[in-house]
Amino acid sequence: HPYILHYKVGVAADGRLTAMEARIIADAGAYASMSPFVTWRSAVQVTGPYECPHVHADVYAAYTNNCYTGAMRGFGAPQVNFAIESLMDELALKLDLDPLELRLRNAFEQGSVTATGQRLDHHTVSIKEVLSRATEAADWSVKRESLNTENRSRTDGKRLGIGLACSFRGVSLGAEGVDAAGTIVSIQSDGSVIVHVALTEMGQGVQSALSLIAAEVLGIDTQRIKCLGADTGRVPDSGP
């Protein structure tokens, strides 16, 4: 979905977000299609992975004369994440703060509450640890200072930069729809197991995960399990 996003944010002198207002319009095209689910996800993630105590968000999908739009993995999350991360960089510049420090001051923690009222307490919230370890491994501070120094001395009108961005995303469908999947597990005469599933392996490790689940349930080694690739004609609905 192409988006038009209008954000207004309030921030304290120490860089902590205090309020956020968002008005977002998505181009649905000629039919609603997946737009209700896409815009719902945008509302859920409207603040990005940052805690803000006061949030007002209106997200609309507009019918247009364009081709109707759908979703592919992101479901409205990439658009708002792009806007929020751009805003965080702008705020860091205005407040004269390191973009990393600004994100660390506002990032979700264990027990944080999202804009839609979800308390993050049923899993480990590790964004601050991830940010710290990733930027340390990348020599963020050293490279940023080095580039700033070089840019001040350049006379060719060109500038060099280093970027930093965060995002968060819910797992599975959640409130977007019925979240279910099916597989067929076949035990062979030699004791090996074949797992038939219609989920497509795209690097997320689905075949490894399903093999581990089958191994744990059946009490056998993963080496004796083969997870076959997607074939919707041979297996039950495995979900989107």
**Helix, strand or coil for residue 51?**
coil
Return the domain boundaries, the chain. Answer: 3-153, 184-228
Q: What is the average pLDDT score of the chain? A: 90
Give pLDDT, residue 238: 67
Identify the three-state secondary structure at position 44.
helix
Q: Which has the closest alpha carbon to 184: 173, 198, 172?
A: 198
> Quick check: 2 pLDDT over 90?
yes
pLDDT tens digit sequence for 172-186? 666 666 677 778 899
Confidence of residue 113 (pLDDT cuts 50, 70, 90): very high
Average pLDDT over residues 144-158: 91
pTM of the model: 0.78
Residue 236 has pLDDT above 70, yes or no: yes
- Is pLDDT of 239 > 80? no
Q: Note the pLDDT tens digit of each residue in 115-143.
A: 999 999 988 999 999 999 999 999 999 99
73 vs 177, residue with greater confidence: 73
Tell me which of 230 and 59 has the higher pLDDT. Answer: 59
3-153 belongs to CATH 3.30.365.10: yes
Q: Is 211 exposed, middle or buried (0-12, 13-18, 19+ CB in 10 A)?
A: buried
Q: Tell me which residue of 192, 230, 195, 193 sits closest to 209, measured CA to CA.
A: 195
Give pLDDT, residue 60: 96
Instruction: Tell me how crowded residue 164 is: count the other CB atoms within 10 A of its CB.
Output: 19
pLDDT at residue number 217: 93
Q: Taking the CA of residue 55 as centre, how many other CA atoms within 13 Å lie in the half-sphere pointing to its CB?
A: 20
Q: Which residue has the higher pLDDT, 181 or 108?
A: 108
Using CB atoms within 10 Å of the CB of residue 207, give its burial: 0 to 12 exposed, 13 to 18 middle, 19+ buried. Answer: middle
